Amino acid sequence: MSKLKLIIKREFLAKVKNKSFIILTILSPMLMVGLMMLIIFLNDKNSEKIKTIAFVDESTLLASAFIDEETTKYIDLTALGLQEAKLKTAAFYNGLVYIPKNNNLQNLSKGIRYYSADMPSIHVVDNIESILEKKISDLKIAKLLVDVEKIKAAETTVEIDAENFSGVKSSKMGSILRMIAGGGFGYLIFMFIIIYGTSVMRSVIEEKTSRIIEVIISSVKPFQLMLGKILGNALAGILQFVIWMILAGLLLFIITAVFSVDTAGSESAIGQINPEMIRQVNESATSNLQLILQEIKNLPILTMCFSFIFYFLGGYLIYSSIYAAIGAAVDSETDTQQFMMPVLMPLVIAIYVGFSVIENPHGPIALGFSLFPLTSPIVMLMRIPFGVPWWQIAVSMFLLIISFIGIVWFAAKIYRVGILMYGKKPSYKELYKWLKY
Amino acid sequence: MENVLTVDGVCKNYGKFTALNNVSLSVPKGSVFGLLGPNGAGKTSLIRIINQITLPDSGFVLLDGEPLQKHHIQNIGYLPEERGLYKSMKVGEQALYLAQLKGMSYADAKKKLKYWFEKFGISDWWNKKIQELSKGMAQKVQFIVTVMHNPKLLIFDEPFSGFDPVNANLIKDEILQLRDEGATIIFSTHRMESVEELCDYIALIDKSNKILDGKLIEIKQQFKTNRFEVGVSCANEQALLTEIKTNFIAEKVKPVAYNENLRLLVNLKKEETSKHLIKFLNNKAQITHFTEVIPSVNDIFLKAVANNE
């Protein structure tokens, strides 16, 4: 077996056999799912609690609008008068709607108040507003001697199905999904680069502090060792990614099979969509779920997975070789800070830019940052679900490969000198000198 | 005699700092070669060049008459001064890995390791992690890892550090046995008594330059100062002492043997030999002790370095 293979194997096993790797790989998706379930569950519990809202309608025109709903009951306290009603509400109910005496239909909407012990949620106020708006409009229409039912029959909802020129349908829901997918993948790469980059750095520092480094490089070239270490860790990262994707696929399958209706309902409850839509969604829960599944199928999943692996490898190779050089330059992890900042900076910028990019995936900023090799792994990956012209991907990949070669060369030089230097923390000036040794 | 290793005109600079300046050495086959020098003299730089960890700026190194190449790595066993093992890796697994990096096949490595582990009586450590072993135990593993691929040339940098006297002796015997089996040993240490005991040849490096090298006996010849230690028994030691001091440069030291009452260190002039002294003393007293003072490696080291100032 070649020496590089031996090193890769050792590094891979050292990483994969580690307990924290196993825990992170198996447990964290479960934790994620568990957390999501918990949120959905709590959300359900929260909205299941029945609220009782009292009202005092001095105008006597709007009382009929308050019809009990699944989660909200309405109680007419008009007979008690405002002062009494307030006291009673404070003692027994969640809130009180006060509609002042008013004979003029035009002014009816003015002066309506909502009293409650604590700040009401926007949700509650929105709901009451929409109930009253509807009733008042109905009253106004009735006054015009027009049949309300006929008007209702004339109302139309329009849902536009967007479709691109090659025939791929998209919708608002699709865009949201794309944002989630792009953002998720971009963030995943960010996490992977940091986690695996630091792991390479730690492993280099470990070899330095345990003083095995000189034993090893009397058998292999420092570059071989560095490359083997980086590739071994990359394989562990890919393994983790594949496991996560398989788990995600399984979970998606189970969720669609078992909890189909529930999930669809709660998912739209998580999104900030107005109550009107919730009702709609609940009515058409099944068809909505199909829509989501359809949208997921519409995502360029294969392209996304392959580009994830490519950009992960490219970005990771660049950053981890820098991390390896840092690890070689210092004696302990506490000394790494001064070098970490400039490394983390482009990554963090990429994440921030990336999240604005998913709102405008084809703008000049998006293009620029998805070509620049230090940010492209994250930003391009966030753009890919929205469809990126192939030449942009090609240029971005080309630049990534070129700079990867350059940076690895540069890092290897520092690494080669650094691993044999003990005892002092080098300055940037010294690092520059090492390049010329 | 055939040389296993020839270093010729090697220079190495780190930026403006010169680590080695035109250093040449020859290490004869089957010898124990002491590579000596103060801290920071350039020994480690030289050893790293021999191990192909770094390349010389100029000059060359021959191993068995061939310029150093990649495959020579498996002919060299190197125990660095800064040494260690992966702490969380199991002993056996780790030794196998390092053996394979040296170019051994898995099966060979396993067989060889079994032999050494049994020889050192440490077979039951195979599945232990290094962090569970004491420092001395880990050093034993490290020694095995260094020698298990049967290299022609072994380089030991402070091999005895971390060992108790019993184990240091064990390692010393192993080193000598390896030499008897045909290996050549380069031995770098600051413990002069072990140089005295083990080395046939030495080279002394100071401030990036080789200032001395050759057969240890010959170097001792070179450094002897015509100094003799004598013990006598006489009636009036005070009178004798005065008399000796008028004829020779001498200093009195504490008598050692029960039958003597005067012990002296006498420095003879260049043209004088021991005969002069014996003759002189024989007439005046009974000689109980007479030896030439041979400089120790320690003395040679100090003197050579002082001369190089």
Alpha-carbon separation of residue B228 from A147, A421, B221, B271, B295 (angstroms): 136, 47, 14, 15, 11
B249 in A contact zone (CB under 8 Å): no
Contacts of A207 in chain B (CB under 8 A): 86
> What phi, psi does B4 have (nearest 5°)?
-75, -40
pLDDT for A91 equals: 82
CB within 8 Å of B229: residues ≥ 6 apart = B253, B263, B264, B265, B266, B289, B290, B291, B292, B293
Collect all residues of chain B within an 8 Å Cβ-Cβ radius of residue A437: 14-15
Answer whether A219 sits within 8 Å of B97, measured CB to CB: no
Q: How close does chain B come to A407, measured CA to CA in Å? A: 22
Q: What is the mean pLDDT of chain B?
A: 89
Q: Is B145 on the interface with A (CB under 8 A)?
A: yes
Helix (H) or strand (E) run with residue B38 in it: none
Q: How far is CA A386 from the centre of its chain?
A: 16
**Domain extent listing, chain A:** 3-36+172-434, 53-154
Cβ of A14 under 8 Å from any chain B Cβ?
Answer: yes
- Measured CA to CA, the distance from residue A222 to residue A228 in angstroms comes to 10
The partner residue sitting opposite B100, judged by closest CB among A1, A14, A214, is: A1
Taking the model in full, what pTM does it have? 0.74
Chain B nearest-CA distance from A215, in A, is 7
Partner-chain contact B15 A433, CB within 8 Å: yes
pLDDT at B78 over 70: yes
Q: Which of residues 214-273 of A touch B (CB under 8 A)?
A: 214-220, 222
Chain A residues inside the 8 Å CB shell of B73:
218-219
Six-digit token string for A13:
């096993």
Coil/strand/helix, residue B5: strand
Q: In chain A, whose CA is at the least distance from the CA of B98? A: A216
Query: Which residues is B10 bridged to in the sheet?
Result: B23
* Cβ-Cβ contacts under 8 Å for B218 (sequence gap 6 or more): none
B3-221: CATH superfamily = P-loop containing nucleotide triphosphate hydrolases (3.40.50.300)
Q: What is the pLDDT of residue A171?
A: 60
Q: Is B98 on the interface with A (CB under 8 A)?
A: yes
Determine the residue of chain B that is closest to A10 in CA distance.
B97
Q: Give the model confidence (pLDDT) of B4-47 as tens digits.
A: 999 999 999 887 888 899 999 999 999 999 999 888 888 989 99
Q: Do A215 and B102 touch (CB under 8 A)?
A: no
Domain B225-293 has CATH 3.40.1440: no
Length of chain A: 437
Cα Rg of chain A, angstroms: 30
- pLDDT reported for residue B144: 93
Output the pLDDT for position B81.
86
Instruction: Give residue B147's pLDDT.
Output: 92
Summarize pLDDT for B241-292 with one digit per residue, the tens.
Answer: 888 888 888 888 888 878 888 888 888 888 888 888 888 888 888 898 999 8
| Whether the predicted interface score ipTM is above 0.85 | no
A210 in contact with B, Cβ within 8 Å: yes
Q: 3-state class of A388 per DSSP?
A: coil
pLDDT of residue A258: 67
B2 pLDDT more than 60: yes
Which alpha helices (H) appear in B71-122, and where do they start and end?
A: 91-101, 106-119
Contacts of residue B12 in chain A, CB cutoff 8 Å?
Answer: none
Give me B117's structure tokens.
């582990």
Q: What is the pLDDT of residues A67-98, one digit of tens each?
A: 887 778 888 888 888 888 888 888 888 888 88
- Are residues A212 and B83, on separate chains, in Cβ contact within 8 Å? yes
Residue contacts between A and B (CB atoms, under 8 Å)? 64
Q: Report CB contact under 8 Å: A219, B86.
A: no
* Residue of B52, B63, B79, B82 to mutate, interface with A, max A Cβ within 10 Å: B82
- Residues from chain B that touch A10, judged by Cβ atoms under 8 A, are 97
Is the CB of B87 inside 8 Å of chain A's CB atoms? Answer: yes
Element counts in chain B: helices (H) and strands (E): 10, 14
Which residue in A1, A3, A218 is closest to B53 by CB distance? Answer: A218
CB contact under 8 A, B14 and A437: yes
Q: Which residues of B96-133 are buried (b: 16+ CB within 10 A; e: fewer)?
A: bbbbbbbbbeeeebeebbeebbeebebeebeeebbeeb
* Best residue of A10, A20, A214, A331 to probe chain B, by most B CBs closer than 10 Å: A214
**CATH annotation of A53-154:** 3.40.190.10
CB A417 within 8 A of CB A430: no
What's residue A292's pLDDT?
66
Q: Is A437 on the interface with B (CB under 8 A)?
A: yes
The pLDDT tens digits for A237-296 are 889 888 888 887 787 777 777 655 444 444 444 444 444 444 444 445 555 566 666 666
- For residue A231, give the amino acid letter: L
pLDDT score for A269: 41
In this structure, are residues B305 and B206 in contact, taking their beta carbons and an 8 Å threshold?
yes
Selected residue with higher pLDDT from A264 and B114? B114
The distance of A210 to chain B (nearest Cα, Å) reads 5
More confident call, B183 vs A43:
B183
The CA-atom distances, in angstroms, between B224 and each of A352, B33, B87, B275, B300 are: 77, 21, 49, 17, 9
| Mean pLDDT of the B183-211 span | 90
Best of B20, B39, B44, B53 to disrupt the A interface by mutation (most A CBs within 10 Å)?
Answer: B53
Residues of chain A short of pLDDT 70, as ranges, are 1, 44-49, 159-173, 258-299, 423-424, 437
Residues of chain B positioned with their CB less than 8 A from the CB of A215:
78, 80, 83-85, 98, 142, 145
A215–B14 CB contact, under 8 Å: no
Within 10 Å of residue B228's Cβ, how many Cβ atoms? 21
* B48 reaches A (C-beta below 8 A): yes
